[in-house]
Amino acid sequence: MKDIRKLLIANRGEIAVRIMNTARAMDITTVAVFSDPDANSLHVRIADESVALSGNSASDTYLRAELIIAAALRSGCDAIHPGYGFLAENAQFARACAEAGLIFVGPSPETIDAMGSKIAAREVMASAGVPVLPGISVDDLGDLRADLAARAAGEVGFPLLVKATYGGGGRGMRIVRDGTELYDAVMGARREAASAFGNGSVLLEHYLDSPRHIEVQVFGDSHGNVVHLFERECSIQRRYQKIIEEAPSPVVTESMRAELGEAAVTAAKAIGYLGAGTVEFVMDADGRFFFLEVNTRLQVEHPVTELVTGLDLVKLQLLVAEGRELPEEVLKASINGHAIEARLYAEDVTSGFVPVAGTVHRFRVPKIPGIRVDTGIADGSEVAIYYDPMLAKVIAHGATRDEARRTLARALYETRLHGVTSNRELLVAILREAEFSSGEIDTGYLGRHHPAHLIDSAHNPEASGVLTLAAALAAQAERRRDALVLGTLPSGWRNVFNAPQRVTFSSGGRQVEVAYQLCKTGLEAEVDGLAAVGVRLYSVQPAQVDIEVAGVRQQIDVHRVGDVLYVDGAVGSTVLAEVPRFPALRSIEAPGSLLAPLPGTVVRVAVEAGQSVLTGATVVVIEAMKMEHTVKAPRDGIVQDVCVVVGQAVDAGLALVRLEEGI
């Protein structure tokens, strides 16, 4: 056994912060690494020491094994914890750590190799008696022969899932319904997989429509102990990435739990597993489960297991890495209550979960009993285009599933996340939706419940008027506070009541005008031409308005950043941009311009000038935050001009292609 005294965390964001918190409690000195965009990130600020990795993209920084190891040696580390993603499941990196005399906090390189390829993993599991789905591999371009579709139909069966052979997290995944879609799906998945994991090999595996996604946490030590720590339900997904996870699964009975646990332990023993790992399964409507993959690392959703077992999985990883035996409480672990985790992403849900970048101006999660927050952001954090857009995980623990669900819904509803568009409203809507509440969920949940409809159904239509009025009053209070003359007069006061004050906001692509007047009889107001009834203003400050409308009094918080106001109250939240009274002239894009939906890098240009395209045809593919985003023709037309080239970095709103109507 060898104590770990100094630990380098080869990762970023919330998982780096999470690992550092446990390491600090174990009296282990922590060392962070960071790319140029992450120079002021939270994980760098809380580390004892940090080492710069010059560059922006993951391939130039966090995926450079030699730079990571050099940083560990330079800072005198004993060990490296890879977190998840990046180099966490890279056997070559694990070997390089050992060769450099560093402890790799994870399984052996041989185990990673065995499970790193989904093809090899399937073969090992089938030999061990773990049920698997049929599949074939496409390792290189030579496998893309003319009979691939026919071979897939015969050996795999449609529908099938194209997925990256190496890596996970939903990158490099495509559902294919028939042979005509196969080539484009394989090529797109290969590009995405190569970018995210450094290897473009993909697996074609039979696809079960809307199964449950259930995984089992396993742990092994060097003393022969291999145990499971029960299952997690991970069926609420978008774009093949989990967004809500829970433990235990609401559908798994004690007998099913025993079967799943036995299969997971069998899988772990078959590969001599050491440390923390996860065996993932898909389960059909009849309760039959099939092996999906083994993640040879800590999972994003590990906190739900920690909350129901009372165990610190990162601490256990470090103890096993030191050569210690798993403690008795692990070998005799039991389930206590229920835990649900929601992942907060910087993304535009209504635009198809498009990742967004920007500055986090405010991040607050209410302090509610039973709530845990794992995050890598704070006020002022920059969300860059180069990495996964996950901002934080909010986790609730309760005596029952319903208690945990309600607690988490309330915490997210009261969360303040200003500066970047997020999926917060969708998460709240899911947690409050009847089907989710009953536990009748599967991976097709967001196919049956359109995200935009879920969000709309949760909105209070009467709330927007009150929030907009409060924003106008707060803005006026701020102007009075900062006035150079007569600053002591009440906000909006006039000695001649001849006309109301007017403020125009932009919200959701439309403009809303607020007209209000403070007079002797009180406050008179209109929002979008509709008179506010029974308005009484108790107090108004730039950051908070205490107002009564139609007999209901409430306090509304207003947070201004430039011309943008973030408005939050008990009735909901909104973001408003104050429209300048005398706007500057703006340039106008050429008619027919197709604009970049988000900042990123052009990885494919599928058209050329003079080419005719049909509605829905791929025009340009942009890579951002480790995912590909396809810009398609909105109508039939002729390409007049191509404005970008492959490899070019683009900002949101930049013209990509100019399309003229007609064929």
CATH number for the domain spanning 84: value is 3.40.50.20
Residues facing 299 on adjacent strands: none
Tens digit of pLDDT for each residue in 534-564? Answer: 899 999 999 999 999 999 999 999 999 999 9
Side chain identity, residue 344: L
Catalytic residue among 12, 297, 401, 424: 297
Residue at which a domain ends, from 206, 233, 263: 206
Residues 216 and 332 grouped into a single domain: yes
Residue 29 sits at φ, ψ, to 5 deg, of: -70, 140
Q: Which whole-number Å values give the CA distances from 305 to 21, 182, 359, 408, 479, in the listed order?
A: 17, 38, 32, 16, 50
Residue 128 lies in a domain: no
Place of tokens 């924003």: 471
Pair 144, 156 in one domain: yes
Q: At what angle do helices 109-116 and 91-99 cross, to 10 degrees?
A: 170
Phi, psi (degrees; rounded to nearest 5) at 386:
-85, -15
Assess whether 330 and 354 both reside in one domain. Answer: no
* One-letter identity of residue 351: S
Helix (H, G, I), strand (E, B) or coil at 446: helix
Question: Sign of the C-alpha dihedral, residues 21, 247, 373, 278?
Answer: positive
| Residue 121: inside a domain | no
| Alpha carbons 91 and 89: distance in angstroms, whole number | 6
Q: How many domains would you assign to the chain?
A: 6
**CB-based contacts of 378: which residues, under 8 Å, 6+ apart?**
42, 360, 363
Q: How many Å apart are CA 346 and CA 386, to the nearest integer?
A: 13
> What residues contact residue 363 under an 8 Å CB cut-off, 6+ apart?
375, 377, 378, 379, 381, 391, 392, 415, 416, 417, 418
* Helix count and strand count (H, E) for the chain: 18, 40
Residues 11 and 93 in one domain: yes
Rounded CA gap, 660 and 612, in Å? 9
| 99 shares its domain with 141 | no
Among 440, 459, 478, identify where a domain stops. Answer: 459
State residue 576's pLDDT score.
Answer: 95
Residue 287 CB coordination number (10 Å) = 13
**Residues 269 and 331 placed together within one structural domain of the fold:** yes
297 is catalytic: yes
Q: Please name the residues in contact with 244: beta carbons below 8 A apart, sequence gap of 6 or more.
A: 236, 340, 341, 342, 343, 427, 430, 431
In a domain, 110, yes or no: no
Question: DSSP characters for 67-113?
Answer: HHHHHHHHTT-SEEE--SSTTTT-HHHHHHHHHTT-EESSS-HHHHH
pLDDT the model gives residue 93: 98
Distance CA 190, CA 210 (A): 24
Whether residue 200 is contained in a domain is answered as yes
Burial pattern 11-22, b for ≥16 Cβ within 10 A else e, equals: bbbbbbbbbbeb
DSSP per-residue codes, 241-288: EEEEEEES-SS--HHHHHHHHHHHHHHHHHTT--EEEEEEEEE-TTS-
Please indicate, yes or no, if residue 312 is contained in any of the structural domains.
yes
Token pair recorded at residue 155: 């050996």
- Whether residue 29 sits in one domain with residue 15: yes
CATH number (domain holding residue 300): 3.30.470.20
Global pTM value: 0.85
- Residue 563 DSSP label: T
- Mapping DSSP onto H, E and C, the string for 364-431 reads ECCCCCCEEEEECCCCCCEECCCCCCEEEEEEEEECCHHHHHHHHHHHHHCCEEECCCCCHHHHHHHH
For residue 152, the surrounding DSSP H or E stretch is helix 148-155
For tokens 């009075």, the residue is 480
Q: Does residue 588 lie in a domain region?
A: no
Residue 61, φ and ψ in degrees, nearest 5: -130, -85
Q: What is the pLDDT of residues 578-624, one digit of tens each?
A: 998 766 544 456 677 888 887 888 989 998 888 888 888 898 988 87
* HSE of 652, CA atoms in CB hemisphere, 13 A: 12
Residue 514 included in any domain? yes
Shared domain for 224 and 323, answered yes or no, is: yes
Domain boundary (206, 241, 257) is at 206
CATH of the domain at 488: 3.30.700.30
384 close to 358: Cβ distance less than 8 angstroms: no
Return d(Cα 656, Cα 282) in angstroms, integer.
40
647: three-class secondary structure by DSSP: coil
617 and 646 together in one domain: yes
Contact 266, 128 (CB under 8 A): yes
Mean pLDDT by 10 residues, the chain (663 residues): 96 98 98 97 98 95 98 98 96 98 97 85 91 84 75 90 78 87 89 80 88 98 98 94 97 97 97 97 93 95 98 98 98 98 96 91 97 97 92 98 98 97 97 97 95 88 88 91 70 64 88 87 87 90 95 95 94 92 58 81 89 88 78 88 88 86 70
Can you give the pLDDT at residue 612? 87
Q: Please give the Cα distance from 170 to 154 (Å, whole number).
A: 26
Residue 332 and residue 222 in one domain: yes
Whether 316 and 277 have beta carbons less than 8 Å apart is answered as no
Give domain status of residue 95, yes or no.
yes
Domain check: are 437 and 468 in the same one?
no
CATH code assigned at 639: 2.40.50.100
What is the domain-level CATH number for residue 179?
A: 3.30.1490.20
Distance CA 290, CA 282 (A): 5
Same domain, 467 and 451: no
H or E segment to which residue 305 belongs? helix 302-309
- What is the domain extent for residue 40? 6-105
Residue (of 57, 19, 38) closest to 600 by Cα position: 57
